[in-house]
Amino acid sequence: MTTILATLTFGLILATSAINPKNNACPKFNQYPLATLNPKCYVNPDVFSDVVQVVTRNGYNVKTHSVVTDDGYILTLFEIWGKFKNESKNFTVFLQHGLLVHSGVWVITGRRSLAFYLADLGYKVWLGNIRGTLYSQKHVNLTVNDPKYWNFTLDTVAAKDIKTQLRFVAKTSGLKIHYIGYSMGTTIGLMFLASSGQEDTKSLQSASLFAPVAYLNNIIALQLIETPGYLFTKMLTLLNITGLFYQEKLIHRVLVSVCKRIPNVCFELLIEGIFGKSTHFSSTDLLLYFGYWPGGVSVNQIQHYLQLIKSRKFQKFDYGPTENLKEYGTENPPTYNLSRIKLPVCLFYGENDAFYKKENLERLYNELGSSQKCKYPIPDQTRDYDHVDFLFANSIRTDLYPILTETLADVETK
């Protein structure tokens, strides 16, 4: 009897010690509902952490900077440099996030994080944050609860946020800049490069574009959502709702709580259903992902993408004939002349990306005015990255980063 009691007591102690209600990362999706009791699940401290916390916890140096655009938006940039005393590069890197996220996506996946990978190579790394996202929600006069705050388009972000941040990085670092954009970061990067003069682009050394989004023609899924999406954004405008998802911390906590209970539904509906089928996304990153997505966005930004789908052009925002005449001097919005881009540009794409179409990528590539340009399917052999894989793929250090660093080194020596 004593032996039985001792065994039961020992088993109870082991079971109790394995209980952790804070567990938020599991090796398999079906383990999340009982993550509290599963010894294979664990606590990932980066879920809900801010950029400074994550960078510091990983042993890197970080400094926070603020800049103000000429229309009053206060933007936050993070400057990151390596933890080792290795030789510094004579170039710096600026990373621009995509739609519905902020700069945290460049640091939250540990050793897989691009910001840390580049810092280890000796680069000073700068993380940009556009207006409306978590770290750039301040304004000299307005608040995010004011509808006027959200009166901006992709054109605005490209012309003001990108320009202001790059000028600050160039002035502060004194170095030439490699621009690396992801998703919307590629859209606004191309818009900036195609519409800016020599004075604004002279500090740039190259542009690397992950999962590029410019032309969105003949993508069936996008064509299906174009009309209902337009009607939805019109309704929001009539209701004077001009910004979405900017209550980020609340939204993320709700999503993490829900997705812990129905992980497969969240993955299949909110990740694969939106961005394409992934064979590289790890289940351990599920709640980490929803701890950062979605983020603040203006209704006009969404409308702008819907217009790109409908128009089949890479053009400026369409305000309607009357307002277009006031804004542009023509009834139709002008297109961006990509042949004006002379900077070395490299496109990195995945054929499982929901926003990828070969003809669109080829059109973008061919219209670029760069004499030094390249394009790479990722991974090189299977070519099966989806949109999210460019941030979260398990094998990203071997699939993407070596090719990226080769292209950076190539333009640094010319």
Mean pLDDT over residues 363-378, rounded?
Answer: 97
Query: For a pLDDT cut of 70, what percent of the chain falls above it?
Result: 94
Q: Using one digit for the tens of pLDDT, what is the confidence trace for 52-111?
A: 999 999 999 999 999 999 999 999 999 999 876 556 789 999 999 999 999 999 999 999
pLDDT at 8 over 50: no
**Cα–Cα distance, 265 to 261 (Å, whole number):** 9
- CATH no. of 44-412: 3.40.50.1820
**Cα–Cα distance, 66 to 50 (Å, whole number):** 16
| Predicted local confidence at residue 16, as pLDDT | 45
pLDDT at 23 over 80: yes
| Predicted local confidence at residue 257, as pLDDT | 96
Q: How many CB atoms lie within 10 A of CB 310?
A: 16
Q: Which residue has the tokens 């944050």?
A: 129
Say how far residue 200 (Cα) sits from the centre of its chain: 23
Catalytic residues: 183, 353, 387
392 phi/psi in degrees, rounded to 5: -120, -5
Give yes or no for a contact between 166 and 280, defined as CB atoms under 8 angstroms apart. no
Give yes or no for a contact between 333 and 355, defined as CB atoms under 8 angstroms apart. no
| Predicted local confidence at residue 87, as pLDDT | 63
Length of the chain: 414
Peptide bond preceding 294: is omega within 30 degrees of 0, i.e. cis? yes
**Cα–Cα distance, 18 to 106 (Å, whole number):** 32
Better-predicted residue by pLDDT, 413 or 237: 237
The amino acid sitting at 244 is L
Indicate the SS3 state at residue 70. Answer: coil
Query: For a pLDDT cut of 90, what percent of the chain falls above it?
Result: 90
380 phi/psi in degrees, rounded to 5: -65, -35
